[in-house]
Amino acid sequence: MSHFGRSGPPDITDTYSLLVLNITFRTTADDLFPLFDKYGKVVDIFIPRDRRTGESRGFAFVRYKYADEAQKAVDRLDGKVVDGREIMVQFAKYGPNAERITKGRIVEPVPRSKIRSRSPRRRYREEYRDRDHYRRKSRSRSLDRYDRDKYHRRERDYHHRSKSRSVSPDYYGDRGRGRNDDERRSHRSRSVESASPTRHSLSPRRSASPRRSPSRSRSESPDRRSLNGQSPVPQRSPTPRSLSPRHVTRDSRSPSPRNSDIDE
């Protein structure tokens, strides 16, 4: 009763499916249940997750027992901020098997031939096999490349993680990630500080201008002065063309972002 989506679809014939979009990637069914159960009887909640990473895709399916309750949930929860993100609740248009759905209820089943083309994005395995076999180069190149890059990155991450930790599908146990995250973050912070002086001799040229974005936030004169007085290397090029002339011009043109009220 508490675990949704673990035993497959129970009985969707008498239920009304709602599609919840724009949820966070860490929102689980248990998090959505109390929210949706307040407006009616929720018989099932399912959050599709990625086959490789196991993380949610950012949307969920909530099945209600009665249509009026589902409608109420849509009206009340649509646009609600959950976990810092505004969710969108609406009636599902398709069923688990690509059935056509009206008002969240299945009105007519579809033949098996139609099943399969419900998702625009192919499955990772299908795409892999397809590409490996046919190796088509036509089509949108940029789009294909972008997609491939994305998949590659994700697969790598998954692989890396798989090595570190055995295959333990504890998707619902991401609650304890906070401590781990914090710990790792702290450690990394120290590491960076330690390695800071090391790169000092590695690329002195780059260190000359490590950051200039925050400088314009509050110091306009010191910035310029420091640039002038700090130049410890006269070098042979009297013209600092290395820096974008546009940047310099812009910097001296609007060096006072604080006095925006004047301009505005």
Partner DNA sequence: GTTGAGCGTT
| Residues in touch with DNA (CB under 7 A) | 5-9, 12, 17, 19, 21-25, 44, 46, 48, 53, 55, 57-59, 61, 63, 85, 88, 90-96, 98, 101, 118-120, 150, 157, 181-182, 184-185, 188
Of 38 and 93, nearer to DNA (C-beta) is 93
Helix, strand, coil percentages, rounded to 5, for the chain: 45, 15, 40
Q: Identify which of residues 57 and 199 has a Cβ nearer to DNA in the complex.
A: 57
Residue among 90 and 219 whose Cβ is closer to DNA:
90
Minimum CB–partner distance for residue 104 and DNA (Å): 8
For the bound state, the minimum distance from the C-beta of residue 178 to DNA, rounded and expressed in Å, comes to: 10
- Closest approach, Cβ 199 to DNA, in A, equals 20
How far is Cα 77 from Cα 45, in angstroms, rounded to an integer? 15
Kindly state the tokens that stand for 215: 């400088």
How many whole angstroms separate alpha carbon 104 and alpha carbon 94?
8
**Which two three-digit tokens encode residue 157?**
């991450």
User: Measured from the CB atom, is 117 or 239 closer to DNA?
Assistant: 117
Taking the complex as a whole, the smallest distance from the CB of residue 217 to DNA amounts, in Å, to 23
- Please name the residues in contact with 137: beta carbons below 8 A apart, sequence gap of 6 or more: none
Provide the minimum distance between the beta carbon of 192 and DNA in the complex, in angstroms, as a whole number.
Answer: 11
Q: How far is the CB of 27 from DNA (least distance, A)?
A: 8
- 3-state class of 96 per DSSP? coil
Amino acid at 251: D
Distance CA 28, CA 237 (A): 60
Q: Which CB, 39 or 87, lies closer to DNA?
A: 87
d(CA 60, CA 41): 16
Alpha helices in the chain (DSSP H): 29-37, 67-77, 124-134, 141-164, 177-195, 204-207, 215-218, 221-230, 245-253, 260-263
- Smaller CB distance to DNA: residue 83 or 252? 83
